[in-house]
Amino acid sequence: MTALAVGVVGAGWMATDYHIPAFSDHPRTTVVGFAERNDDRREAVAAETGLPGYADASALVRAHDLDVLSICTPPSTHEPIFLEAVGHGCHVLCEKPLATTAGSARRMADAADEAGVVTQVGYLHRYYENYRRALRLLDEHLLGDIVEVTVAHHSAPPSQGWYYDPALSGGGVARDLLPHSLDVLFEFLGPDPTVTDASVRHLRDRAVEDAARVSLEFDGVPVTLSTTWTQTEGVSRFMVVGTEGWLELDAERLEGDVFGRPFAFEGGRLPIVDLGIADLFPANDEDAHTARIHDFADHAAAGDLDTAAPASRGVAVAEVIDAAYETAGVDWEGTGAETDTPRTESGQ
Amino acid sequence: MNVLVTGATGFIGLNLLHALDEGATGDGTIELVAMVRPSTSTARLPEGTETVEADLRDPDSLRAAMVETDADAVVHLGAAVYETAEMAGTNTVGTENLVDAAAEAGVDRFLFVSTIGAHPDVPADAGSPYQQSKVESERLLFGREHPFEVSALYPTYIFGPRDYRLTRYDVVRIIAANRVLVPPLYTHDEYNVVHVADVVDSLIHCLTAERGGAAGRHLVTGPNLSNGQVLRTIARHAPGSCTVVGVPYALTRWGIKPAMDLLYRVGVSPVPGEGFLERGDFGTVAPPLESQAPVEQHPWERALADTVAWYERVGLL
């Protein structure tokens, strides 16, 4: 069985730490080349990996008969690269956010549908064992009916400059961090949220917001999301309250109770020993990035369009973020970012 | 036969509804209608389950439910099991309300799931408000004349899938997580374990038997088992590597209890030694009453294995 030929666009840390190694390790894929605009970086990565490097995605696509294109570039570049890839019949793994606006995301999803290629957006959370387990518990209605959900996602300000240029990023921390949580919310609360409130703040003198709060309603279930770029090692936490119990989780720990009976996991695992005064858990060596790339590779190799988060999920996520910006009174027009009328109704 | 089921979203109710949904009777002779309170979630019911809203504490709603479902039989599973404050209203008065509505509606059969301690041949636990509420219902069902046939089941300690209240999770989790130093791992408990499927099969038997053939009381009991038998069987089926160490009672009494007291006093153990001397009784019966049911029974090991498998499937193990 021949392996699928993979090209990786953008040779930042995400590509060199995860995409290139993960596609190289997977038995059904092999990396044949990469594209990187920065000459020094391109030469360094070419020397390090032994792969041919190209100055842009078009050159990479022209030079190889690719089956898969993996996109690790800033958001504003996703659409043209994505459209070119699906035009060549490539399956596409695209880092989040899929696009800087819902309109852009929609064009990408439509093109992928028409081409019949496998797509996935790089949402990470669901590939942590704790999230897999929590999604199973919720899918089995262990908490009864969901009463409310609270999400907090705080992370250190990114080092790359493009994050702070709305023309390249499509927004600030809301566009950057909320997609991971929204993907999980869509998974267990259904497809049709309404933005009921949203606000943004500028904690530092930046062109984009670095703090945002969004309130959603999924079929009557209120959800609150709070996200910031602040000096922290990073925390991303869900708390779900149901009529019969609750659970709270981040990537490390999942705990909760049902009718007062507690459960707890770390890295998706039960303790190896429960001493009463302490639960002892095994070391957690999970690698969610590799897991998501391998999951996409499995789907691409099987021609299975039903990935965990196809481009249509990227559209739904972008619609919520567009609506949140609109509700918060943020207009990226004039900043170079494309604007687009959101489908999702905004409450204010 | 139209059957109105109270407590349809509880442990036995869900297993009954799913068993019939999966073709337990082999034909469509039994049409179950789940009686639910307006606030109850129906997400766990089999898809397409017919429901009717009513409340045991509201006689008018029960009469309306009987008429709406054109009930031929009632399976009464609804009870407050843990909420002591609700037991009198839901279990005792609620059962009376349901019996009255069933009589008025002219149903043929009334099936009731009681508890082992309410059976006349088994000593009742006077300290258990739940058992006392079931004894009250006993007088109501068998101490009076009714226009319908009454069948009552007396299960012991039920294990099986769809335990959404996690009533058996503690005992399974301590094995799967290799608990040490904390009771009840080294206590000398006794169990009488039955599979929830035995209760469900007994209910179906009582519904489908010839008229008069299943009237009266039916024990649904398994064998009496030691803590060690139960915990080792759970360990065999739980994921990961679980070890259950047997401890002779004399060692517990002369060794573990005083040692744990010491560890407790110096702050190492979370509990004192007293708990290791407790002897829990989970539904045991006198030997002549063991392993009885109106239907062929599932092995007790299977009851434990299916419980573990369900917890694992839903993500709790």
What class does CATH assign to B2-155? alpha beta
pLDDT digit string, tens, across residues B41-76: 899 999 999 999 999 999 999 999 999 999 999 999
pTM of the model: 0.92
pLDDT, one tens digit per residue, over B248-304 is 888 888 998 999 899 999 988 888 888 888 888 999 999 999 999 999 999 999 999
Contact B179 A274 (CB under 8 A): yes
Minimal CA separation from A126 to chain B, in Å: 14
In the Cβ-directed half-sphere of A59, how many Cα atoms lie within 13 Å?
11
Nearest Cα of chain B lies from the Cα of A275 at a distance, in angstroms, of 5
Q: Where are the domains of chain B?
A: 2-155
Show Cβ contacts of residue B167 under 8 Å, excluding neighbours closer than 6 positions: A261, B11
Question: What radius of gyration, in Å, describes the C-alpha atoms of chain A?
Answer: 20
Distance, in Å, from the CA atom of A17 to the CA atom of A48, rounded to the nearest integer, reads 12
With respect to residue A252, please indicate whether it lies within any of the assigned structural domains: yes
Instruction: Read off the CATH number of the domain in which A28 is found.
Output: 3.40.50.720
Residue of B36, B83, B314, B317 best to disrupt the A interface, most CBs of A under 10 A: B314
Burial label, B270 (beta-carbon count in 10 A; 0-12, 13-18, 19+)? middle
Same domain, A151 and A174: yes
- Band of the pLDDT at A1, cuts 50, 70, 90? low
**What confidence tens digit (pLDDT) does each residue in A177-187 have?**
999 999 999 99
Contact B178 A276 (CB under 8 A): no
Instruction: Report pLDDT digits (tens) over A305-343.
Output: 999 999 999 999 999 999 999 999 999 876 655 544 443
Interface contact flag, B176 A244, Cβ < 8 Å: no
* Predicted pLDDT of residue A334: 67
Q: How far apart are CA A294 and CA A91, in angstroms?
A: 14
Question: What is chain A's mean pLDDT, rounded?
Answer: 94
The shortest CB-CB distance from B43 to any of A141, A259, A273 is to A141
Position A77 in a domain: yes
Average pLDDT over residues B93-110: 96
**Quick one: pLDDT at residue A336?**
56
- The dihedral region occupied by A171, where left means phi > 0, alpha psi between -120 and 50, and beta the remainder, is left
What's the structural domain count of chain A?
A: 2
Q: At residue B82, does pLDDT exceed 90?
A: no
Q: Do A8 and A81 belong together in one domain?
A: yes
> What percent of chain A has a predicted confidence (pLDDT) above 70?
95
* Residue B181 to residue A142, Cβ atoms within 8 A: no
The CA-based diameter of chain A, rounded to the nearest angstrom, is 62
Task: Say whether both A164 and A29 belong to one domain.
Answer: no
* Chain A residues touching residue B82 (CB < 8 angstroms): 259
A291: closest CA of chain B, how far (Å) = 19
**B184 pLDDT higher than 80:** no
B137, two tokens: 């219902």
Count the Cβ atoms, other than its own, within 10 Å of residue A164: 17
Are A321 and A177 members of one domain? yes
Percent of chain B with pLDDT strictly greater than 90: 72
Q: What is the pLDDT of residue B128?
A: 85
Answer yes or no: do A70 and A198 share one domain. Answer: no
pLDDT digits (tens, 9 = 90+) for A210-259: 999 999 999 999 999 999 999 988 999 999 999 999 999 999 999 999 99
B174 touches chain A (CB under 8 A): yes
Q: Do A140 and B180 touch (CB under 8 A)?
A: no
Whole-number Å distance between alpha carbons of B8 and B265: 48
Within the 139-178 window of chain A, which residues sit less than 8 Å (CB to CB) from chain B? Answer: 140-142, 144-145
Q: Pick from A321, A317, A322, A320: which is nearest to A340 by CA?
A: A322
Contacts of A134 in chain B (CB under 8 A): 315
Q: Which of A327, A318, A260 is nearest to A103 (CA)?
A: A318
Closest residue in chain B to residue A244, using alpha carbons only: B165
* Arithmetic mean of pLDDT, B124-143: 87
Q: Look at the block and give the residue holding tokens 């009198």.
A: B88
Query: Has residue B183 got a pLDDT over 80?
Result: no
Q: Do A270 and B177 touch (CB under 8 A)?
A: yes
In tens, the pLDDT along A43-69 reads 999 999 999 999 999 999 999 999 999
User: Is residue A343 situated within a structural domain?
Assistant: no
In a domain, A348, yes or no: no
For residue A180, the domain's CATH number is 3.30.360.10
Domain assignment present for residue A90? The answer is yes
Q: From the CA of B297, how many Å to the nearest CA of chain A?
A: 28
Contact (CB, 8 A) for A227 and A173: yes
Any A CB within 8 A of B43 CB: yes
What average pLDDT does the segment A88-112 reach?
98
Q: What is the pLDDT of residue A276?
A: 81
What does the pLDDT average to over A265-276? 92
Query: Which residues in chain B are contacts of A279 at CB distance < 8 A?
Result: 177
The answer to whether A278 faces chain B, any CB pair under 8 Å, is no
Q: What is the pLDDT of residue A245?
A: 97
Instruction: Give DSSP secondary structure letters for B79-112.
Output: --SS-HHHIIIIIIIHHHHHHHHHHHHT-SEEEE
Tell if the CB–CB gap between A136 and B177 is shorter than 8 Å.
no
Phi–psi pair at B305, nearest 5 degrees? -60, -40
Q: Is residue B241 very low, low, confident or very high in pLDDT (cuts 50, 70, 90)? A: confident
Q: So what's the pLDDT on residue B214?
A: 95
pLDDT at site A33: 98
Evaluated on CA atoms A230, A221, A180, A177, the torsion sign reads negative
Q: Supply the range of the domain harboring residue A170.
A: 125-285+317-327
